[in-house]
Amino acid sequence: MKNKNSNQEYWRANLKIVTALLLVWFIASFGFGILWSETLDQIQMGGFKLGFWFAQQGSIYVFVILIFIYIFLMNRLDKKYFESNDED
């Protein structure tokens, strides 16, 4: 039974990580890049209007960073719940 509980805990922790990261994913692309991009345009960053920059550059950088944060958090989680995560 202990094993089953720890599986559920692992899954819940996993869902928390995924939800938090997807929230950022949504805000950076659909939020900054689309819904609020015209408001952000009033801020100028070098030659870019900020909303335009998020739509054509910034969101992509955020995506890359998000996946690497996910890899880091999940590896830590795997270690905590499963001693060896080598499995086919």
Give CA angle at 42 (49, 45), nearest 5°: 40
> What CA–CA distance (Å, rounded) separates 59 from 18?
18
**Least separation, in Å, of the C-beta of 87 and another protein?**
7
Coil, helix or strand for 45? strand
Look up residue 43 and give its DSSP letter: S
Q: Which two tokens stand for residue 36?
A: 């609020």
Return d(Cα 30, Cα 36) in angstroms, integer: 8
Question: What residues numbered 7-66 form the site for another protein, per CB under 8 A?
Answer: 7, 10-11, 14, 18, 21-22, 25, 29-30, 33-35, 37-38, 41, 45-49, 52-53, 55-57, 59-61, 63-64, 66
Options 16, 39, 80, 82; binder of another protein; rule CB under 8 A: 82
Contact residues for another protein, defined by CB under 8 A: 7, 10-11, 14, 18, 21-22, 25, 29-30, 33-35, 37-38, 41, 45-49, 52-53, 55-57, 59-61, 63-64, 66-68, 70-71, 74-75, 78, 82, 85-88
